[in-house]
Amino acid sequence: MAQIIAIANQKGGVGKTTTAVNLAASLAVLKKRVLLVDMDSQGNATMGSGIQKNELLYSVTDVLLGEMPIETAITRAEVGYKVLGANRELAGVELAIAEQEGREFIMREALQQIEDKFDYIIVDCAPSLSLITVNALAAVDSVLIPMQCEYYALEGLADLTQTIDRIQQALNPDLQIMGVLRTMFDARNALTRDVSSELEQYFGKKLYDTVIPRNVRLAEAPAHGLPVIYFEKSSKGAVAYLNLAAEMLKKSKGKKGSNA
């Protein structure tokens, strides 16, 4: 059975999609069976996996509307993992399912059909609390929160943890915060160090030891439709995401998806 993880933060620009794509690729390099689910209508995780979002035969939209079985809608990427892609059609789904009974659980029911075929299912969420994001959070086991160590980060984090608590109480009692990941990290910056210290105090062991540095290759890779490990495997960004995947496997040993 797969371990299903949402990459979520209601604040944009924190490296959420970068983390979803590169964590999926790194887990695949470490011989795990991985599905990346793109639940953001921008389709950046789809594009970053080398799949043209406007050329998708089927997408997550078809699954949410009940028009296509999830197994049929999944695409095999050329970067070691499979993708349930998204494009701008996803933006219209919320209105289409708004009155549907059980609308919050559509993705959960879909993933249950295929979770035995994967070790990890990584879900890239949009930076908003839409019905689509609620669907994602109702379907997953845990949430990985990417965070940039900046002035407003902690304020936004409080909003996100409250959202997770509400989802837990109303829709997904087993939902938990897997951990917090520091992204775009620059240890030379005093504010970065201060916010990082506050995160250590607040989250303790849930704060990942691995930090994702600011890295030119990491920023360039999406334009080439590649995870950074396939773009420049010796770059600091690639090494950092491999370290993150290894740390995650170590933390989750004995849980779903670990094969331990």
How confident is the model at residue 152, as a pLDDT? Answer: 76
Which residues of the chain fall below pLDDT 50? 260
- C-beta atoms surrounding 253 within 10 Å: 10
In sign, the C-alpha dihedral spanning 247, 207, 220, 53 is positive
In the chain, the amino acid numbered 93 is V
Exposed/middle/buried for residue 48 (C-beta within 10 Å: 0-12, 13-18, 19+): buried
Which domain covers residue 176, as residue numbers? 3-251
Q: For residue 58, what are the contacts with CB-CB under 8 A and spacing of at least 6?
A: 68, 72, 73, 75
Backbone angle region of 66, left / alpha / beta, with phi > 0 → left and psi within -120 to 50 → alpha: left
How confident is the model at residue 221, as a pLDDT? Answer: 96
With respect to residue 243, please indicate whether it lies within any of the assigned structural domains: yes
Helix (H) or strand (E) segment spanning residue 147: strand 142-148
Q: Summarize pLDDT for 188-231 with one digit per residue, the tens.
A: 888 889 889 888 988 899 999 999 999 999 999 999 999 999 99
With respect to residue 260, please indicate whether it lies within any of the assigned structural domains: no
Give the chain's mean pLDDT: 93
Q: What is the CATH number of the domain that holds 73?
A: 3.40.50.300
Q: For residue 16, what are the contacts with CB-CB under 8 A and spacing of at least 6?
A: 7, 8, 9, 124, 125, 127, 146
With respect to residue 124, please indicate whether it lies within any of the assigned structural domains: yes
Between CA 129 and CA 219 the distance in angstroms is 26
With respect to residue 104, please indicate whether it lies within any of the assigned structural domains: yes
With respect to residue 182, please indicate whether it lies within any of the assigned structural domains: yes
With respect to residue 257, please indicate whether it lies within any of the assigned structural domains: no
With respect to residue 122, please indicate whether it lies within any of the assigned structural domains: yes
pTM value surpassing 0.85: yes
Total domains in the chain come to 1
**What are the tokens at 148?**
């940039």
Q: For residue 205, what are the contacts with CB-CB under 8 A and spacing of at least 6?
A: none
With respect to residue 151, please indicate whether it lies within any of the assigned structural domains: yes
